[in-house]
Structure 1
Amino acid sequence: MPSDAAVRPVVPAARHFGDEPARQGAAHMGMWVFLASEVMLFTALFTAYALYRLAYPEVFHLGRTYMDVTLGTANTYVLVCSSILVALAIAAVRSGRDLVASVLLIGAALLGVCFLSIKGAEYVHHIHDQALPGAHYAFEKFAIPGASLYFTLYWVMTGIHALHVVVGVGVLSVMAFRALGGSFSAAYHTPLELGGMYWHLVDVIWLFLWPLLYLV
């Protein structure tokens, strides 16, 4: 008698959700769920920031004066431009211009690297001033109760965001090579759309961090 493996029906790969539109819908739904979890993470951080700002209003007001507004604003423009390039890349794929899409994605990834470089320069400056998180805080020019808490929140919030930027740069790089290899078409470019959604969220989160830490 034939074994169970011999008579077991072969299920086509990636056919769990029926036809192609259903599979693409499921992929988008999964990404929306993932992005919602990311929003919950940063909502918790923003809530902590708001609560501690109410407890130490003077500290958080003075803390802004030690932020480099020029670098923070430059990084805002860098991420916004990067998001625009990703949107243009998706439009290029939909019109069959794979090479253009690849170049745009590489440009977006390079802007992400630029963002990280600028942020790294800020971190070096804070480290030099010993404006470090937690028990490592020793910034003599800003040595009032609650100051270490302000910089702890700064490091945590911007650090987690920077980690997301690193992941996003990797995703954009992979999408650029896939676009160059002809993996996408006007009918199928779901991975690129999902990667773009993630990158846009990274941009939006920074648009909240920027005024909180540099302007308000």
Structure 2
Amino acid sequence: MNLKRRTQVTNQTHSEETTTGLSHNKLGMWVFLGSECLLFGALISTYLLYRGRFADGPAPGDIFDIPFTSVSSFVLLMSSLTMVLALSALQRGDERNNRLWLLTTALLGAVFVGGQVYEFTTFLREGLGYTTSPFSSAFFTLTGFHGVHVSLGVIFLMSLYVSSARGNLHKERAETVELIGLYWHFVDIVWIFIFTVIYLVPSPTS
């Protein structure tokens, strides 16, 4: 009976995998992230096209607070480390530390979003609105689109935290945390490119 049960479990495991060796869930996540790469690539390309067109609005060098954004970016990148620790804890069966690191990751993400909201409101006060210039439209679209992704990630992380607190997130469900982790790492990596293109690469004069 034990041999028969092990055989059934093995067959079920294989049926849940694709020919790539990945589970259907992981393959689906990678396909989704691939499509997201195309979207962000298009938005970054649009920003590069319009970054020198300020019209009558302020130029990036006049309003960007690079030290502040650098700290905010560091906070987001640190959340990738805490996400790794959360997954590692659950894979070891350490549900307490899994909850700790999930909550920490969500809080770091929330701090980043809060910093972005503060930055946006500051820009609005200084005369840079969404329709001020082609540059501002491209800037707010790109960074806002990324901010929405981070916000969704925070919601996903908090749902995992609540599930764990209710005793519904165990070692056997580690793949769920891994999938959210893939999404979170993707969002962090994309921000590295966005931060470099917007804040570190000098904009041409209009």
The residue that corresponds to 1:36 in the other structure is 34
Deviation at 1:57, TM superposition (A): 8.1
1:127-166 matches, cutoff 5 A: 127-134=124-131, 137=132, 148-166=133-151
- 1:23 equivalent in alignment to 2:20: no
1:102 aligned residue (94, 99, 102): 99
CA distance in 2, matches of 1:180, 1:101: 10
Q: Quick one: which amino acid aligns to residue 69 of structure 1?
A: I
Deviation at 1:179, TM superposition (A): 2.8
Q: Quick one: which amino acid aligns to residue 156 of structure 1?
A: T
Cα displacement string for residues 45-64 of structure 1 (whole angstroms, at most 9, x for unaligned residues)? 111123335xx3899xx524
- 1:87 equivalent in alignment to 2:114: no
CA distance in 1, matches of 2:25, 2:54: 46
Deviation at 1:74, TM superposition (A): 1.0
Deviation at 1:66, TM superposition (A): 2.2
The residue that corresponds to 1:209 in the other structure is 194
Q: Alpha carbons of 1:67 and 1:22: their partners in 2 closer, same or farther (altered >3 Å)?
A: farther
Cα displacement string for residues 130-152 of structure 1 (whole angstroms, at most 9, x for unaligned residues)? 20122xx2xxxxxxxxxx11111
CA distance in 1, matches of 2:54, 2:109: 34
Task: Confirm or deny: 8 A CA contact 1:64 1:213 kept in the other structure.
Answer: no
1:54-203 matches, cutoff 5 A: 56=52, 62-134=59-131, 137=132, 148-203=133-188
How many corresponding residue pairs? 183
Deviation at 1:187, TM superposition (A): 3.9
CA distance in 1, matches of 2:43, 2:98: 35
Deviation at 1:203, TM superposition (A): 0.5
Bigger Rg, which one: 1
Q: Alpha carbons of 1:35 and 1:78: their partners in 2 closer, same or farther (altered >3 Å)?
A: same
Q: Alpha carbons of 1:58 and 1:114: their partners in 2 closer, same or farther (altered >3 Å)?
A: closer
Q: Quick one: which amino acid aligns to residue 109 of structure 1?
A: A
Task: Confirm or deny: 8 A CA contact 1:67 1:213 kept in the other structure.
Answer: no
Deviation at 1:65, TM superposition (A): 4.3
Q: Quick one: which amino acid aligns to residue 45 of structure 2?
A: T
Deviation at 1:93, TM superposition (A): 0.6
The residue that corresponds to 2:20 in the other structure is none
CA distance in 2, matches of 1:164, 1:26: 23
Give the CA RMSD over aligned residues: 2.0
Task: Confirm or deny: 8 A CA contact 1:64 1:215 kept in the other structure.
Answer: no
CA distance in 2, matches of 1:77, 1:22: 41
Unaligned regions of 5+ residues in structure 2, if any? Answer: 1-10, 18-22, 202-206
TM-score norm. by structure 1 comes to 0.78
How many percent identity over aligned positions? Answer: 30
Q: Quick one: which amino acid aligns to residue 208 of structure 1?
A: F
| DSSP 3-state at the match of 2:173 | coil
